[in-house]
Amino acid sequence: MRSFSRLVVASVLCASCGGAPGATPTGPRLIPDHTEKKPATHSCGSTRPLVVDWESSDRAQLEAQARKGLVVVSYEGCGMKVLPRCGVKSNPAYGYIAVTPKKDRVDMRDAVEMYANIPVYAAKLEARLAQSGSLHTNMVIVGQLDAGRTIPRKDELEGECDGATHVVSALTVGAFEFFAGAGNEVGGGVSVLGAGAGAKSASSKELLNRDGDEAKCASASDTDTRSPSGCGALLRIEVVPLGAARPTEPVCGQGTQWNGEQCLAVKADVTCAPGQIADKVKGCIEKKPVTALVPAGATVKSGSTVGVAPVKADCTQEEECRTRCEAGDAKGCLGLGAVLRASLKPGQATPQGDKAAAAFQKACDGGESSACVALGELYYQGLGVPKNAAAAPALFEKACDAGDPVGCNDMGHALSDGAIARDLPRAAQFYGRACNDKASLGCFGLGVLTRDGRGVPRDPGKAKQLFQKACAGGVKVACKLAES
């Protein structure tokens, strides 16, 4: 649900199994006996690792496994083992979310960044990195295969699931080239080369791996129901621990931090301003805008950059709103909270966040239901205030009882997301209160539960009707699921 987040298989994988791309095909396979474990020399554990370093056969197996349903893996350190005979009950499928094509680039300047971004093959690529000085990936992103549901718990798995720790919640697709060296000589964006993997260009850029065709990606649009032929290469995956909530921002290994595009090596002893990170070479730098792919759980449009429901305020200037709020005007407090909220960031508690929360609290106490929702979202996300998901449901329920469908929808999400104790039957009830003749906001969440048979009887036909209703109400991702 966008009120809480933004957005966006294969084989037995480990840090030391298989050869580097372009070498003999001894990389990870679906057969566990092919693994050879070796301690990693750097911290791994990124929740959004790239897969551009994998052999093409392994990425093909990853894609094939994802076509069968949600992919369950064992992910510890740099080792990732896909469990091909382990699945999620009711066998939910990935939905495709298209975006306007975007170009992205990941630069790995040392072993710390290499292990953080391509952990599986990092051990085999250490020598290549030492020789070339850097590794790089240029990508064109056209969409994402997304789980579109809450992350299952271990008791919701079936089959041979020993060692299961994570679910692959999303797979980003498009086109890429993965190469060594020439870090300062190559511009952003994919430039499809005629040479094969292992060949060197005149600029000492050694192509290690490539998949997808940039020219084919040019035809992609954000209305596609699948990636264009020739532009569906797997670029990176998102993994989430079983039973956990999907994070608002990818988690990186020790010594690195997400900069909007990749895990970047940072200085531990430097404190930067909000919105900046301490690059180990450049010092404090601005985080890059996130290439956001709206997850299939998104259900409500929002003008906020952090993904919160809009409020119905009748003032937009801080001074005017503050004056009215101090005079006891609940609408003024609502507007003040909205103005202060605009600059808040998840995970960063600030005095301004406390002021926004106080303003929303006064407005909520004064009968403004959207303020109750807004305050609950601050606590649920840790948006400008210390994260306290347990404090949010009472606020959402208060708004819902006042007839606010956003509160009902948010309550449904909270009860199904996993940040608080899950109660899927109650979640379905709250989604239903936001899916009726007057509102369609909860139809997507109810549709997902109905499709998967979670908290309510499984009914694909009814789920499709719910997705269609959500689509008619402006929930774009529901349109794609209604067609699938």
First-last CA distance in the chain: 20
For 361-392, how does the pLDDT look when each residue is reduced to its tens digit (9 = 90+)? 999 999 999 999 999 999 998 889 998 989 99
Query: 186 pLDDT band (50/70/90 cuts)?
Result: very low
Question: Quick check: is 183 in a domain?
Answer: yes
Same domain, 369 and 261: no
pLDDT score of 23 more than 60: no
Question: Quick check: is 199 in a domain?
Answer: yes
Tokens linked to 7: 């957005």
Tokens linked to 58: 């392994």
Choosing from 286, 301, 326, the residue where a domain stops is 286
pLDDT of the residue at 41: 58
For 273-300, how does the pLDDT look when each residue is reduced to its tens digit (9 = 90+)? 877 889 998 999 887 754 434 333 333 3
Q: Do residues 223 and 191 lie in contact, with contact meaning Cβ atoms separated by under 8 Å? A: no
Same domain, 94 and 236: yes
Same domain, 77 and 24: yes
Identify the residue with better confidence: 55 or 366: 366
Contacts of 360 (CB under 8 A, 6+ apart): 333, 334, 337, 341, 371, 372, 374, 375, 378
Residue type, position 32, single letter: P
Same domain, 271 and 324: no
Same domain, 66 and 152: yes
Domains contained in the chain, number: 2
Mean pLDDT of 425-438: 92
pLDDT of the residue at 164: 95
Mean pLDDT of 301-314: 59
Identify the residue with better confidence: 150 or 258: 258
Same domain, 78 and 148: yes
Tokens linked to 314: 């009748």
Question: Quick check: is 299 in a domain?
Answer: no
Q: Do residues 234 and 215 lie in contact, with contact meaning Cβ atoms separated by under 8 Å? A: no
Residue type, position 53, single letter: D
Question: Quick check: is 309 in a domain?
Answer: no
Same domain, 250 and 385: no
- Quickly list DSSP for 410-459: HHHHHHHHSSS---HHHHHHHHHHTSSSS--TTHHHHHHHHHHTSSS---
- Measured between alpha carbons, how far is 76 from 297 in angstroms, rounded to an integer? 26
Query: What is the domain extent for residue 118?
Result: 12-286
pLDDT of the residue at 473: 84
Same domain, 275 and 389: no
Tokens linked to 52: 């551009």
Question: Quick check: is 301 in a domain?
Answer: no
pLDDT of the residue at 230: 92
| pTM of structure | 0.57
Same domain, 337 and 259: no
Same domain, 268 and 348: no
For 442-457, how does the pLDDT look when each residue is reduced to its tens digit (9 = 90+)? 999 999 999 888 899 9
Same domain, 222 and 339: no
- CATH number for position 392: 1.25.40.10
Question: Quick check: is 400 in a domain?
Answer: yes
Same domain, 85 and 157: yes
3-class secondary-structure state, position 73: strand
Question: Quick check: is 353 in a domain?
Answer: yes
- Measured between alpha carbons, how far is 117 from 176 in angstroms, rounded to an integer? 15
pLDDT of the residue at 478: 82
pLDDT of the residue at 93: 83
Choosing from 244, 262, 286, the residue where a domain stops is 286
- The highest-confidence range among 29-43, 194-208, 314-328, by mean pLDDT, is 314-328
Q: What percent of the chain has pLDDT over 70?
A: 82
pLDDT of the residue at 139: 96
Question: Quick check: is 293 in a domain?
Answer: no
Q: What angle do CA 26, 165, 147 make, to 5 degrees?
A: 90
